[in-house]
């Protein structure tokens, strides 16, 4: 398996995993009225900052994974075209219809 494909999969899985984990923590921290509950103001600011930066990192990983996946598909397409140019297909001079 190509390293580009492996890195693409790892980046996508980790990006979506981080987003899922942050959203799950935020969901279970909410009260029945929909407000998030923290034990102190400092904890609220610190956790909100960490979650915000974590989501940005997750988005960057997802974009990086998609770019790697795109470059892998482009690389495979170029390899197929190169192989087709090296081994030309012999056409029949008098094709039968």
Per-residue pLDDT for the chain (97 aa), expressed as one digit of tens each? Answer: 788 899 999 999 999 999 999 999 999 988 888 888 888 999 999 999 999 999 999 999 999 999 999 999 888 888 887 777 766 566 656 656 5
Structural domains counted in the chain: 1
Yes or no: say if 18 and 54 are a contact pair by the CB < 8 Å rule.
Answer: yes
**What is the pLDDT at residue 35?**
87
- Please list, residue by residue across 19-58, b when 16 or more beta carbons sit within 10 angstroms of its beta carbon and e when fewer do: beebeeeeeeeeeeeeeeeeeeeeeeeeeeeebeeeeeeb
| Domain span including residue 51 | 3-86
- Would 76 be classed as within a structural domain? yes
- Would 23 be classed as within a structural domain? yes
Cβ neighbors of 44 (< 8 A, separation 6 or more) are: 36, 38
Torsion region of 87: left, alpha or beta (phi above 0 gives left; psi -120 to 50 gives alpha): beta
- Would 54 be classed as within a structural domain? yes
């Amino acid at each position: 398996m190509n390293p580009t494909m492996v890195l693409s999969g790892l980046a996508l899985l980790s990006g979506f995993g981080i987003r899922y984990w942050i959203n799950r923590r935020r969901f279970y921290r909410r009260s029945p009225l929909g407000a998030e509950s923290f034990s102190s103001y400092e904890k609220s600011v610190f956790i909100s900052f960490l979650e915000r930066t974590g989501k940005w990192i997750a988005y960057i990983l997802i974009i990086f994974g998609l770019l790697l996946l795109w470059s892998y598909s482009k690389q495979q397409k170029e390899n197929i075209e190169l192989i087709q140019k090296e081994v030309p297909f012999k056409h029949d001079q008098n094709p039968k219809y």
